[in-house]
Structure 1
Amino acid sequence: MKGIIFDFNGTMFMDSDLHEAAWLYLLQKYSEKELTEEDILKNLHGKTNDVILRNFISKDLTDEEVQKLSDEKETFYRKSVLESSNHKDFTKGLRDVLDYLKANDIPMTIASASPKINMDFYFDYLNLGNWFDYDQMVCHTGSFPGKPAPDIFLIAAEKIGVEPKNCLVIEDSYSGLQAAHNAKIGTIVAIDPDGKNRAVLEAEGLAKDGVIENFTTFISDYLK
């Protein structure tokens, strides 16, 4: 492993509950569809907002309608983050990992399905610039296909100058892990803090290099 690519939501920052709540708010307001557990696993987390909205609200939404609904959902979500006492820091153990990677000059970046406005929020809220080059971060801009297409990880690997086969990707989402496989990433680690998706991820071969709950033993397990 010569470089590391982090997913953000549900990986570096345990906010899946807030995203689910924001989507539930929006879908209850604009759609009659109900979210199932399978929907949450396979059709929500890791997907870009345009895909989610056209899947759950209407496939005929215009780009302008998608942008308006996306902005409403993300505004609701960011407000929830700021108001939550349980969402003030990184996933357990991650600060030590980031400090270790920085101290050892290991190339690293973030590849997230989040829109740029959210990544800007995270860079400010969690001081991501202490560890990451903003210009190397990859987020959803609409200029390439979202996960499970491989593009986001191929772009991220190129930005840090490391071949995909020499990268480690850490992901929580079903579609994100698929994207890492599709990008032929060398080391793929799943993070599943509550253990609720481990059986599915392992059964489908999406977590070929292990499933972790947090980053407390990540340095010894994967970086040494």
Structure 2
Amino acid sequence: MKIQAVIFDMDGTIFDSEPVYMKINQDAAKQLGGFISDELYHSTVGTTMGESYSILAKGLADDFPMDKFADLWPILWDEYVKENGVVLKTGMLELIQYLNANKITKALATSSYRHEAELCLKLSNLRAEFATIVTGDEVKNGKPDPEIYLKAANNINIDPKNCLAIEDSNAGAQAAINAGMQTIVIPDLIPVSDEVKKHAVAVFESLHDVIDFLKT
């Protein structure tokens, strides 16, 4: 089946940003007297911001100030990213070059909000590479619901079955699979679930492997 578009997740797929988000969330919680374990943070990966807050709230003390946390962590994140920049995942630039050379459309479907997505893309000089960007605050239902992937495909007017999705999380991969897309998983913080393995077209170690896949 011909691939006409590649739709990327962002955090953990394009950028090596999940460890940064985890550190910032943990630092913000600590400043407010709370504690977010690695395991608790991992359970939020791939979900929308609202869903992440709900998951964290259940794992934190009943009197933990989630409203203050929601205000604080984006400030800490902005400061960190503006000072340190963002790190691309290995093989991302080479994959972009391959897609451009073969006239394959690129799109982005991220659970992050518009502000975070735009800042990361600006700092990495990748903003112009994507024909459309759909963010978590622009959909009603977050991953693993397929809405965000279906919206991205609709925006570029390409049938989902002719789209290849690249994800790092189980929730994200399931969203793309539910949208009827061919889905590649490159795990980051969390191992790939057996259910996702059943339906993904491949599980790879890096974005370099995607180029070889597209050549076959």
Say yes or no: TM over 0.5.
Answer: yes
Q: Does the alignment pair 1:151 with 2:147? A: yes
Find the counterpart in structure 2 of residue 212 from structure 1. Answer: 204
Equivalent position to 2:194, from 194, 203, 207: 203
Q: Which amino acid is 2:53 matched to? A: L
| Distance of 2:91 and 2:35 partners within structure 1 | 38
Which residue does the alignment assign to 1:62?
Answer: none
Identity %: 26
Amino acid at match of 1:82: K
**Residues 67, 147 of structure 1: CA spacing in aligned structure 2 closer, same or farther, 3 A cutoff?**
farther
Match of 1:111 in 2: 109
CA apart distance, 1:130 = 3.6
SS in 1 for 2:104: coil
Q: Which residue, 138, 156, 162 being the options, matches 1:160?
A: 156
1:182 aligns with 2:173: no
Q: Distance in 2 between matches of 1:66 and 1:182?
A: 32
Does 2:165 match 1:169?
yes
Tell whether the 8 Å contact from 1:50 to 1:66 is kept in structure 2 after alignment. Answer: no
1:151 to partner: Cα distance: 0.3
1:127 shift after superposition: 1.2
Change in CA separation of 1:67 and 1:178 when aligned onto 2, cut-off 3 Å: farther
Matches within 5 A, 1:42-81: 43-57=43-57, 69-81=69-81
Structure 2 contact 169–190 (Cα < 8 Å) conserved: no
What is the rounded CA distance, in whole Å, between the counterparts of 2:38 and 2:134 in structure 1? 29
- Alignment partners' CA distance in 1, 2:35 and 2:122: 35
Q: Compute the TM-score of the two structures, normalised by the length of structure 1.
A: 0.81
Q: 1:16 aligns with which of 18, 21, 34?
A: 18
* Pairs within 5 Å for 1:81-160: 81-84=81-84, 88-133=86-131, 136-160=132-156
- Structure 1 residues 83 and 197 mapped into 2: Cα distance closer, same or farther (>3 Å)? same
Is the 1:10–1:172 contact (alpha carbons within 8 Å) kept by the matching residues of 2?
A: yes
* Runs of 5+ unmatched residues, structure 2: 59-64
Note if contact 1:30-1:57 (Cα within 8 Å) is conserved in structure 2: no
Farther off after superposition, 23-32 or 118-127: 23-32
Match of 2:5 in 1: 3
In structure 2, the CA distance between the partners of 1:67 and 1:28, relative to structure 1 (3 Å rule), is closer
Structure 1 residues without counterparts, runs of 5 or longer: 59-64
Q: Deviations over 1:109-137 (max 9, x none)?
A: 0000111111120231011234123xx10
| Alignment deviations for residues 50-85 of structure 1 (CA, whole Å, 9 cap, x no partner) | 111123226xxxxxx97864342222123223344x
Q: Cα 1:70–1:34, aligned 2, differ >3 Å: closer, same or farther?
A: closer
Distance 1:19 1:109, change over 3 A: same
Structure 1 counterpart of 2:51, one-letter code: V
- Is this contact kept in 1: 2:13–2:167, CA < 8 A? yes
Tell me by how many angstroms 1:11 deviates: 0.3
RMSD: 2.6
Take 1:178 and 1:119, find their aligned partners in 2: how far apart are those partners?
Answer: 21
